[in-house]
C-alpha cells in the first residue's frame, strides 16, 4: 500500500527535493505551500500523475491557516515531514515582537497543531513517521540568528520528547539537521563569505538539497525503524 506523506513547505528548495525523492519511491504526496505556487506546479509536472494526491495552500504563521490546512486535507496521513520555515538575520536587540511571534508560530506552534491533529489516527493504527527539518544552529546556536537558533532548538527538543511519548505506539519521530546547504536562504552571502564557510567544512563543499532528501528517504524506510528521537546532522563535518 502506498503511504500518504504530508510535506509542509514543499515549495522551498529542500521541500521540493524531498518531494521529488519520495515521489519516485512509491509514496503518495500531499504538498503544502504558502505563496510560492510555481514550484508546486513544477513538481506535479515532474512526478507521475498519481503521485501528488493534493496540494494545499496555507499560511502557517497563523493558527487559522493551520486549522484550515488540517481541515482541507482529504486523505489519511501516514507520515508528516515539516520543512516549513524561514531564517531571520540580524542583531537580537533589533528583532521586533511581531517577528518573534511569527517565528514562534511558524517553527513551533504550527507543527504542534498539525501533529496534534493527525496523531490520533497514527496512534490508532500503531504506525506513523514524523520528520522535522531543523538546523545545526538549533544545536550550537548562531550569532545574528538568535531567534532562528532558538526555534530550531525548540524543534529538536520536541522531537526528542515526542519520540519517547509515541514510540510505544509504533510512531517514529526524528529530525534532519542540515548545515550549509545550497539553497536560496544562503544565496545572500558574498563569494568571500561562502568560500570562508566551505574552508571550515571538512568535506570541502556545500551541502546539496539531495543530501537532505536522501536522509529523509532513509528515515522514511522501514530499515530505519530502530532510529528514534534522533537529530541526524547533515553538515559535512562542519
Classify residue 44: in a domain, yes or no. Answer: yes
In a domain, 199, yes or no: yes
Answer yes or no: is 237 within a domain: no
Choose the catalytic residue: 33, 82, 148, 226.
148
Q: Quote the domain boundaries for residue 116.
A: 3-232
How would you write the pLDDT of the chain (238 residues) with one tens digit per residue? 799 999 999 999 999 999 999 999 989 999 999 999 999 999 999 999 899 999 999 999 999 999 999 999 999 999 999 999 888 889 999 999 999 999 999 999 999 999 999 999 999 999 999 999 999 999 999 998 999 999 999 999 999 999 999 999 999 999 999 999 888 777 767 788 888 888 999 999 999 999 999 999 999 999 999 999 999 999 998 8
Residue 14 covered by a domain? yes
Render pLDDT for 15-53 as a digit per residue (tens, 0 to 9).
999 999 999 998 999 999 999 999 999 999 999 989 999
Q: What is the CATH number of the domain that holds 125?
A: 3.40.50.720
**Predicted local confidence at residue 131, as pLDDT:** 98
* 82 among known catalytic residues: no
* Cα(32)–Cα(13) distance, integer angstroms: 13
Note the pLDDT of residue 93: 96
Give the pLDDT of residue 172.
98
- Alpha-carbon dihedral sign for residues 43, 187, 151, 207: positive
- Number of domains making up the chain: 1
Grid cell locating 59? 499560511
For residue 141, being part of any structural domain is answered with yes
> 55: number of CA atoms within 13 Å, CB side?
19
Q: Does residue 238 belong to any structural domain of this protein?
A: no
Residue 204 lies in a domain: yes
CA dihedral 147, 183, 225, 130 (to 10 degrees): 50
Question: So what's the pLDDT on residue 238?
Answer: 87
* Residue (of 125, 145, 129, 128) closest to 137 by Cα position: 145
Domain membership flag for residue 186 = yes
Amino acid at each position: 500500500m502506498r503511504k500518504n506523506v504530508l510535506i509542509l513547505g514543499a515549495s522551498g528548495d529542500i521541500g521540493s527535493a524531498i518531494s521529488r525523492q519520495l515521489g519516485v519511491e512509491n509514496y503518495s504526496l500531499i504538498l503544502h505551500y504558502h505563496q510560492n505556487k510555481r514550484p508546486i506546479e513544477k513538481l506535479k509536472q515532474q512526478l507521475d500523475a498519481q503521485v501528488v494526491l493534493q496540494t494545499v495552500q496555507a499560511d502557517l504563521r497563523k493558527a487559522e491557516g493551520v486549522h484550515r490546512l488540517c481541515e482541507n486535507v482529504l486523505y489519511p496521513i501516514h507520515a508528516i515531514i515539516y520543512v516549513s520555515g524561514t531564517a531571520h538575520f540580524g542583531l537580537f536587540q533589533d528583532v521586533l515582537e511581531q517577528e518573534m511571534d511569527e517565528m514562534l508560530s511558524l517553527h513551533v506552534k504550527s507543527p504542534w497543531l498539525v501533529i496534534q491533529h493527525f496523531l490520533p489516527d497514527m496512534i490508532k493504527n500503531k504506525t506513523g513517521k514524523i520528520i522535522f527539518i531543523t538546523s545545526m544552529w538549533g544545536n550550537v546556536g548562531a550569532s545574528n540568528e538568535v531567534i532562528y537558533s532558538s526555534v530550531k532548538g525548540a524543534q529538536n527538543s520536541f522531537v526528542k520528547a515526542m519520540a519517547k511519548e509515541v514510540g510505544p505506539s509504533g510512531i517514529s519521530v526524528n529530525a534532519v539537521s542540515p548545515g550549509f546547504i545550497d539553497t536560496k536562504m544562503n544565496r545572500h552571502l558574498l563569494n568571500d563569505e561562502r568560500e570562508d564557510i566551505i574552508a571550515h567544512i571538512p568535506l570541502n563543499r556545500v551541502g546539496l538539497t539531495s543530501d537532505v532528501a536522501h536522509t529523509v528517504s532513509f528515515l522514511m524506510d522501514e530499515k530505519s525503524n530502530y532510529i528514534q528521537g534522533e537529530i541526524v546532522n547533515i553538515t559535512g563535518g562542519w
